Amino acid sequence: MSGQEFVRIGKRLFSEGLVGGNFGNISLRANEGFYITRTGAYLDVPGTPVLVPLKGSAPAGASSEYRVHQAIYQKTGYKAVVHAHPAHAVAASVALSRIVPVDSEGEMLCPVIPVVGGAPGTDELAENVAKALEERPLVIARGHGTFAAADDLDHAYLLTSLAEHSCRVLAYSGFFGGCRR
């Protein structure tokens, strides 16, 4: 596991502004479980990923968000997961109970983006996200961020980019935000 693919996808996520700081994490299914980015890693310089078993606790160094990834790989057949914190998608998840894109790509590829609850790091969040991904490849944890699942890292990144694009279009055209006060 060289991690070169993690670097390539991490740099794309960073340069598009889909993550900032050391937020977000990436994983890829392996024979023996899945590889995930390290806890606290910057996704554009992620270092060596950590191998986590499909069940049970993770070794030291794995992202603290490993439970969500583990639950996804247990419940679905997906091979790659990208978790990011794109600001418009997070804002949409705070303002709306479910997100219905009005741009063409959103309408085609994710006509409804479900919003689920659960605090970061909890089994509740892991279950809610994995359950939602059994039906659709993209979900937003309310106030937290996107989880996108696919057969490879590129497609999980692309769903993440799409989620933010769809939410930017919704925000700019006035479907949420604006005048709460």
Q: What is the DSSP string of the chain?
A: ---HHHHHHHHHHHHTTS--TT--EEEEEETTEEEEPBTT-BTTB--S-EEE-SSSPPPTTB-TTHHHHHHHHHHS---EEEEE--HHHHHHHHH-SEE---SHHHHHH-S-EEEE---TTSHHHHHHHHHHHHH-SEEEETTTEEEEEESSHHHHHHHHHHHHHHHHHHHHTTSS-S---
Question: Is residue 172 a contact residue for a copy of itself (CB under 8 A)?
Answer: yes
Q: Please report whether residue 103 would count as binding a copy of itself according to CB under 8 A.
A: yes
- Between 53 and 172, name the residue whose CB sits nearer to a copy of itself: 172
Query: Which one of residues 74, 98, 108, 124 is an interface residue with a copy of itself (CB under 8 A)?
Result: 108
100 touches a copy of itself by CB under 8 A: no
* Shortest spacing between CB 170 and a copy of itself, in angstroms: 8
The packing angle between helices 123-135 and 66-75, to 10°, is: 40
Q: How far apart are CA 79 and CA 149, in angstroms?
A: 7
Please provide residue 121's backbone torsions phi and psi, each rounded to the nearest 5 degrees: 90, -10
152 binds a copy of itself (CB under 8 A): no
Site string for a copy of itself, 27-66 (x = CB under 8 A): ---------------x------------------------
**Residue 97 touching a copy of itself (CB under 8 A):** no
Residue 35 CB, shortest distance to a copy of itself, in Å, is 23
Q: Which of these segments, 28-36, 47-55, 70-78, 168-176, binds a copy of itself (CB under 8 A)?
A: 168-176
Residues that bind a copy of itself (CB under 8 A): 12, 14-17, 20-23, 42, 85, 87-88, 90-92, 94-95, 102-105, 107-108, 119-120, 141, 143-145, 154, 157-158, 161-162, 164-165, 168-169, 171-181
